[in-house]
Copies of this chain bind each other. A is one copy, B any other.
């Protein structure tokens, strides 16, 4: 299969075949779906060679666009990042290193999130002039999709970090969602006495002073997100993670309560057959598999985290995200756009202004 890389194909995605609850089975099945949708993509699979081949043999078409490389070790879900970060023999490390060497443009793993982020940062390194990488996801609102970042890479952020997230989120919304002029908003609270935290107010000033000014929506409160008033939601990693998990938990709670109240009424049970079509449609809108694949952005290369418990469809969505962004040269765009604005200088100006 050596010809894969010699074809000078730029659309090579490196895969940690051992990450996820039911790997490498789900990984291979997901890749088969992704390969059908993106026939020009090529995959470098790192993992237990014989095991990976066993599943790959079931998909002759996929096999043609894959190259398997044996890895002797695996990062487990309960491994602490610090324990595994320098172990170069894991399938995760090797898959990430393929991006550093330029063999692949992006890496996808359904494994240990903390380890994936830590190794990605160590191996790929942060892009020049980016202070902090961020975790970003694509999410549904009532009439479309939006991107939200940071979802947990940085517990505390300053105004420069938040502005960088806005720059990267803007590019991502253009490249992954195809929105020409994404509307950017800073996640904040709107209590009358105080409009949120100092760093958020400063970031608003910085964004207003940058090229993002035209489509800057200002502050957004979490309950406004589902209304679809913004395409890019920017927050520090702590706040973003709190919002994300509140949203996910509540969606699940409401769906569960609906099921429960229907089950407790025999009359409602009679209505179920009528509702099936509507239910399917709703399920499709809210299906978490369709929003799988958190992206770790701001590095020299793209690192995508698939949910560990997803199925083949969910995994293929994560791989699809990676392919779409590589095809559009996402990382190079960030590098170019961030070159154009000096955030450190901008932040100094904003700080001086506030005295």
Chain A, residues 213-246, CB within 8 Å of chain B (1/0): the string is 0000000011111100000000001110111011
Contact with B along A161-196 (1 / 0, CB 8 A): 000000000000000000000000001010111101
Chain A residues 280 to 305 lying within 8 A of chain B, measured CB to CB, are 281-282, 285-286
**A53: chain B residues within 8 A (beta carbon):** none
Report which of B114, B256, B278 forms a contact with A268, defined as CB distance below 8 A: B278
Check: A117 CB closer than 8 A to any chain B CB. yes
Q: Is A248 an interface residue (CB 8 A)?
A: yes
Residues of B within 8 A of A270 (CB): 274
Contacts known (A239-B239, A242-B222); A254 close to B256, Cβ less than 8 A:
no
Cα of A283 to Cα of B187 in the assembled complex, Å: 29
The residue from B80, B241, B261, B282 contacting A189, defined by CB atoms under 8 A apart: B241
- Closest B residue by C-beta to A135: B191
Q: Mark A87-117, 1 if CB is under 8 A from B, else 0.
A: 0000000000000000000000000111101
B193, A118: Cβ atoms under 8 Å? yes
Residues of chain B within 8 A (CB-CB) of A285 are: 257, 261
CB proximity to B under 8 Å, residues A257-287: 257-258, 261-262, 264-265, 267-279, 281-282, 285-286
Distance in angstroms from A223 CB to nearest chain B CB is 3
Q: Are B189 and A242 interface neighbours, CB within 8 A?
A: yes
User: Which residues of the other chain, B, contact A255 by a CB distance below 8 angstroms?
Assistant: 254
Q: A114-B192, A191-B114 are in contact. Are A275 and B278 (CB under 8 A)?
A: no
A268 and B261 contacting across the interface, CB-CB below 8 Å: no
Report if A22 contacts B (CB, 8 A).
no
Give Cα distance in the complex from A115 to B253, angstroms: 34
User: Nearest Cβ distance between residue A292 and chain B, in whole angstroms?
Assistant: 16
- Is A223 in contact with B249, judged by CB distance below 8 angstroms? yes
One of B268, B274, B282 near A277 (C-beta < 8 A) = B268
**B245:A193 contact, CB within 8 angstroms:** no
A328 interface residue per 8 A CB criterion: no
Complex: A214 Cα to B225 Cα, angstroms: 38
Taking Cβ atoms with an 8 Å cutoff, the residues of A that contact B are 80-81, 112-115, 117-118, 141-142, 152-153, 155-156, 187, 189, 191-194, 196-197, 221-226, 237-239, 241-243, 245-258, 261-262, 264-265, 267-279, 281-282, 285-286
With A239-B242, A254-B286 given, name 18 new contacts (CB 8 A): A113-B192, A141-B253, A189-B241, A191-B237, A191-B241, A221-B245, A226-B250, A242-B246, A243-B243, A246-B246, A250-B250, A251-B253, A257-B286, A261-B278, A261-B282, A267-B276, A267-B277, A268-B278
